[in-house]
Structure 1
Amino acid sequence: MVACLLSGSSAHAARSVDAERRIGRAAAPMCVRSCAAQASASIEGMVIDSGTDVGGVLAGRRALVIGVETVAGSAIARALAAAGVSLGLATMRADEAVMVARRLQREVQAAGGAATVYAFDVMLGQNVKVSTRQVAKELGGLDLLVSAVDRPLDAPLERTTDSELASTFIANCGAHLYAVRAALDEFRRAEGGRALLIVRDAGETGQPGAAAYAAAHGATLALVRSLGEELRGRGVGVDALIVGEHDAPEAIGAAALALLAAPPTAPVGRIVHVNEVQDVTL
């Protein structure tokens, strides 16, 4: 496993879903070991040596992936599992997405990996905090956070209600805030950690007809830039990976691994596109 990255600048705990019975959609299975991607571009900054064994760097670490029902979340979870990371697979809500997470869990376990499914409510900060604490306890600690929350809202602004505006901002930005805030407590216990926030490219380019959705993702980019400075020197990295509609799941997973495997000396607050990760092979 080789990677080279050129980088730029309700108070209820999550229920371990193994104890629940739910009915919902099941995602089509994909082999954890089939992930492979290469992308290239040029960003100024730090380089992960092309001889770096990403699997060796990440093997044995403990990660929480929130939003595993999304394309990006499931792709990154698969890549982390292939790298030997123990996983907490969290859905954004306790709904049919749980079945998607269960399918992914079985896939990871069939390949020899470790994964447990949790149902979060990402709309409630206290739920995220208590649930993250539970995940960390069951994993024996937490080294990595991936927040891949995403809830689209395709509606012209003049036809968007106050309730829709509020829920869109919480689901697409506030949920990231809740996740990072909760993870920081665990990173402090582990004396360091890395968080990766997945942002849709609408947050950078805008999206006519979905202004609220695009604005929420844009706010997440500001969050990452701010945290890059706020957390400097604390052994904690927070980066953003910008994902586009046409980015392949395998490329998303590979790019995420390269960012999460960055050394402690790597810049923080980086905002990177999937195609700005060079020579990543899983």
Structure 2
Amino acid sequence: MGAFDGLVAIVTGGASGLGEAIARRLRAEGARVAVFDLRAEAAAHADLAISLDLCDDDAVRAGVARVAAELGGIDVVVNNAGVGAQGTVADHDDAEWHRAFDLNVVAIARVSRAALPELRRSAAASIVNTSSIAATAGLPQRALYSATKGAVLALTRAMAADHLAEGIRVNAVSPGTADTPWIGRLLERAEDPVAERAALEARQPHGRLVSADEVADAVAYLASPRAGSTTGVSLAVDGGMQELRLRPRG
């Protein structure tokens, strides 16, 4: 018996990277998984894959309604989709700021509010949002990204307070630098990809990038009925980057 037997989960951005690992993990634990992704055809771990733009409210509402109708309700929402951004506060124009906030923050509100009627009917309702170490630690060249992930963290706590009495738990997972396609693209553009990867690994106390599977395991815990007394928290999966202050090695 899996922790998610009989439950239905939506995973946004579930066709690649962290989202793919999360979808795979939830299905392995018995969930029926619906993936929302612009590249839904690439979703390898979905019972239902829907191609939609998370910045289009009508499309989101239609997608959520389809999940409920075809899979028999909604118990878990994992708001994982997002866009990265590299640079200082001076490096992005207004359009880029609006685009990043729309996808990284407002899309969480769109999907969650559309799913609320179904979640209120569930005996195991849970929402998990993907935040980041960038929400709580000042990282260079991450001004826009950090601002959006800080908003995700604040939104998570507010949602947890609003919906606790309805039986809906809301939490966040906050990965460190994870070995994802986005990081891979950043490394490809670096002058010295090997040195840049080594620097990213070294700034995490355990000395390596976080794996997508490790993040998926954390999401599975937060979303599981076994975590029934866990709400309003951010679970760091960052090799100790946020909390530890270790002496330099050597």
Q: Alpha carbon RMSD of aligned pairs, Å?
A: 1.9
> Unpaired segments of 5 or more residues in structure 1?
1-54, 109-114, 277-282
Aligned counterpart for 1:90 among listed residues 15, 29, 36: 36
Partner of 1:78: 24
| Larger relative contact order, structure 1 or 2 (CA cutoff 8 Å, min sep 6) | 1
Instruction: Work out the CA distance in 2 between the residues paired with 1:135 and 1:222.
Output: 28
SS at match of 1:157: coil
Opposite residue 203 of structure 1, the aligned amino acid is A
* Pairwise CA distance, 1:263: 4.2
Opposite residue 182 of structure 1, the aligned amino acid is A
Partner of 2:114: 182
Instruction: Work out the CA distance in 1 between the residues paired with 2:91 and 2:2.
Output: 51
Confirm whether residue 203 of structure 1 aligns to residue 166 of structure 2: no
> Unpaired segments of 5 or more residues in structure 2?
178-208, 240-250
Q: TM-score, normalised by structure 1?
A: 0.69
Runs of 4+ in 1 over 4 A off after TM superposition: none
Aligned residues: 208
Contact 1:70/1:150, CA 8 A, preserved across alignment: no
Contact 2:78/2:127, CA 8 A, preserved across alignment: yes
Higher mean Cα deviation, 74-83 or 128-137?
Answer: 128-137
* Pairwise CA distance, 1:228: 1.5
Contact 2:15/2:35, CA 8 A, preserved across alignment: no
Opposite residue 178 of structure 1, the aligned amino acid is R
Opposite residue 121 of structure 2, the aligned amino acid is R
SS at match of 2:136: helix
Instruction: Work out the CA distance in 1 between the residues paired with 2:226 and 2:62.
Output: 29
Instruction: Work out the CA distance in 2 between the residues paired with 1:243 and 1:89.
Output: 21
Partner of 1:253: 216
Q: Structure 1 vs Structure 2: percent identity of aligned residues?
A: 27
Contact 1:150/1:172, CA 8 A, preserved across alignment: yes
Contact 1:229/1:269, CA 8 A, preserved across alignment: yes
Contact 2:14/2:36, CA 8 A, preserved across alignment: yes
Q: TM-score, normalised by structure 2?
A: 0.77
